[in-house]
Amino acid sequence: MPNPQDLLFRTLADPTRRTLFERLCRDGEQTVGALTAQAGISQPAVSKHLAVLKQAGLVLGRHQGRETHYSALPGGLAPLADWTSRMTAFWQGRFDHLEDLLKRMDQ
Amino acid sequence: MNETPAATRSVVVEREMPHPPEKLWRALTQPHLIEEWLMKGDFKPVVGHRFDFRADWGAVDCRILAVEPNRTLSYTWSAYGLESVVTWTLTPTRTGTRLRMEQSGFRPDQQQAYHGAQAGWQRFIAALEQVLARAE
C-alpha cells in the first residue's frame, strides 16, 4: 500500500537523510560536493540519499555544468501534517484488507 | 455539532466490490470479521451501543449512531482527542455493491491536536518546524 505518508516516513526515518534535508532547509541550495564535505560519508552515498529525498518530493536537483545543486522543498512535508491525506491513506488500506476478507469469505 | 459544512473536513473513500450488500454488511458488523480488516472491538449493530476499537497504536472510542441493515451504518470515531463520525453506505449495483465510507466532522483547528498527538513524530516535527522557521 504505497502512500505519501509511508514514503515520507521511510525517507525521514534515516538520520543521514534528515540531516541532509535539515541542512538544505537551513542553509539553502548546496552542491553535492558541499554537502559531502560536511556529511562525513562518501559522495556516492550522499548522492544516493539525495535521490531518495528527491523521490519523496523533499528536494529538488538542478544541474549546472558538471554539478548538481540541491534545494529543499519544505512543502513536501505537507502530507505529514495534513490530516485528511493521512486518514484517506488509512481507510484505503482498510478497504484493501476488507476486499481480501470478502474474497476469503467466498471460500 | 453546530459547525457549517465549510468549517469541517471530511474524508471519503469509495469502492465497487463484486459482492452483494448482505455479505459486506456481515463484514462491517460482525466483530470476528471486523477484526480481520479494521480493528478489534466489542461491536454490536445497535444504536447507542458504545465500544472501543483497539489496535497496537491505540484505541478508538465509538458509539453507534445509525443502523439500517444492508444499507447504512454510522458511528462516532474518537481518537487522539478528536471526535468524528464514520458513515458507511452500501449501494447495490449490477455486479455487486458500491461501498462508500465518509468520515466527517473535523474542524481544521483540530488537525493540530491530532498532529501533535502523534507520539514519536511530535518532537521530530517540532524540531523540523524550528529549522524551517529559521530558514525563512
CATH of the domain at A53: 1.10.10.10
Chain A contact for B80 (CB, 8 A cutoff): no
- Distance, CA of B111 to CA of B31 (rounded, Å): 30
Instruction: Identify the sign of the CA torsion B17, B20, B25, B27.
Output: negative
Contacts of A83 in chain B (CB under 8 A): 9, 106, 110-111, 114-115
Picking from B9, B38, B134, the nearest residue to A26 by CB comes out as: B134
Gyration radius of chain B's alpha carbons: 18
What are B45-84's pLDDT values in tens digits? 999 999 999 877 678 899 999 999 999 999 999 876 677 8
* Helix (H) / strand (E) containing B2: none
- Distance, CA of B130 to CA of A82 (rounded, Å): 18
**What's the total number of domains in chain A?**
1
Where do the structural domains in chain B lie, given as residue ranges?
A: 5-107
Chain B contact for A1 (CB, 8 A cutoff): no
In a domain, A106, yes or no: no
Picking from A74, A77, A91, the nearest residue to B13 by CB comes out as: A91
Confidence band of B109 (pLDDT split at 50, 70, 90): low
Domain residues for the domain of A57 are: 4-101
What are B75-102's pLDDT values in tens digits? 999 876 677 899 999 999 999 999 999 9
- Distance, CA of B47 to CA of B73 (rounded, Å): 10
Distance (Å) from the alpha carbon of A55 to chain B's nearest alpha carbon: 19
- Which chain A residue shows the shortest CA-CA distance from B110? A83
In a domain, A11, yes or no: yes
Say if the Cβ atoms of A83 and B115 lie within 8 Å.
yes
- Distance, CA of A107 to CA of B16 (rounded, Å): 20
What are A10-52's pLDDT values in tens digits? 888 888 999 999 889 888 899 999 999 988 899 999 999 999 9
- Distance, CA of A95 to CA of B98 (rounded, Å): 12
Report yes or no: A88 and B13 within 8 Å, Cβ to Cβ: yes
Burial of A14 (0-12, 13-18, 19+ CB in 10 A): middle
Class of the CATH-defined domain B5-107: alpha beta
Report yes or no: A6 and A93 within 8 Å, Cβ to Cβ: no
In a domain, A107, yes or no: no
| Residue located via cell numbers 447504512 | B72
Residue A105 corresponds to which cell in the numbers above?
469469505
Backbone dihedral angles phi then psi of residue A80, each to the nearest 5 degrees: -70, -35
Chain A contact for B126 (CB, 8 A cutoff): no
Gyration radius of chain A's alpha carbons: 18
